[in-house]
Amino acid sequence: MLVVVCIAWLPLLVLSAFAGNALGGALSVPFLYDIDAHARFLVALPLLIAAEVVVHHEIWPSLRLFTERKIVVREDLPAFRSALDSALRIRNSFIPEVVLLILVYTAGHWLWRSQIALAGATWYANPQGAHLNLTLAGYWYAFLSIPIFQFVLVRWYLRLFIWFQLLWRISRLNLRLDAANPDRAGGLNFIGKVSYSFLLFLLAQGVLLAGVFGDRVVLQGMSFLAFKATALSVVVFWVLVLLAPLMMFSPMLYRAKDAGRTEYGSLANQYLAEFRRKWILGDHPAGEQLLGSGDIQSLADMENTYDAVRRMRIVPFGLMEIGVLAAVTVAPLLPFALTLFSVDQLVDHVFKIIF
């Protein structure tokens, strides 16, 4: 994380300061005022690298639970291990990374120059007609900093694709699910919790969005309210990206819940019939007292079990996961609230909401 900041951001500061573009008043965007660049290279890029470590250490132990909890039946263990090995081979292969590197120096560079680079005089370029004259800092920015960032970001998209493909292959297996499992997801709730390992990745996406909005709000004087629809769309998009693939397990969860209602419903009817015959119709052994009998507790346990089946979700995640992912993604945008309210007004609004 420190090395990538020293390569992608620090030389930009040194070179722009050497050229007098760090605080240059004649420029529309001096370097130190370029919020997007600082958010991208000082915050988002290190977060993306840290997120790789977190995801690696969280996902694979979670996947082992499929076998440790015997959710994957014995006959499907070879297919399960094959899916894991395939995902690891793709992730560890250097060929996709070489392709990505070529992609960022061709299509990525063209996209940046034609669609993303600012039109006015900035610390990294002076436009002359359709041509973009790069400064010394601009050359470093265009041919090192931007490609490094694009490479890390696009590699993340590749890893998300690998993760989704792995989930798809596992969801095609014959999984042993129990509708009465207290996790309310047939035993698969742990796979929904894996989404928490992507929190740093989502935080980085929020930081990137905040950087883009920051340039518009601070440098161009636009109101943050003009971006509220975009902000909401981005938050919803990333929550769906991480949680929607988990719905590949929904068909088998639905079948498990339907089977559970039938099985546990039949068991409950059988138990109630026996309970009624014994204690209502008086067909209990002579001398056996209702007071102190375990039959009442067993009846309550039966009710709790059937209630667990009834409340089982057909997705391996709940509102908590949705809320946490959305909150982390939107968190970097909260400072923009200070552009809409003063600190006193913001504190007053918070107190009114709480109390």
Residue type, 112: W
pLDDT at residue 74 greater than cutoff 80? yes
312 vs 281, residue with greater confidence: 312
Domain ranges for the chain: 2-257+314-354
* Model confidence pLDDT, tens digit, residues 106-153: 988 888 777 666 656 788 888 776 677 888 998 999 999 999 999 999
pLDDT given at position 53: 93
Residue 289: per-residue pLDDT: 63
pLDDT tens-place string over residues 231-288: 899 999 999 999 999 999 999 999 999 998 888 888 888 888 887 887 677 776 666 6
Q: How confident is the model at residue 222 (pLDDT cuts 50, 70, 90)?
A: confident
Q: Which residues of 92-119 are buried (b: 16+ CB within 10 A; e: fewer)?
A: eeeebeeebbeebeeebbeebeeeebbe
Mean of the pLDDT values across residues 304-330? Answer: 90
Q: How far is CA 22 from CA 19, 33, 122, 123, 323, in A?
A: 8, 8, 10, 7, 40
Residue 68 CB burial class (10 angstroms; 0-12, 13-18, ≥19) = exposed
d(CA 76, CA 71): 10
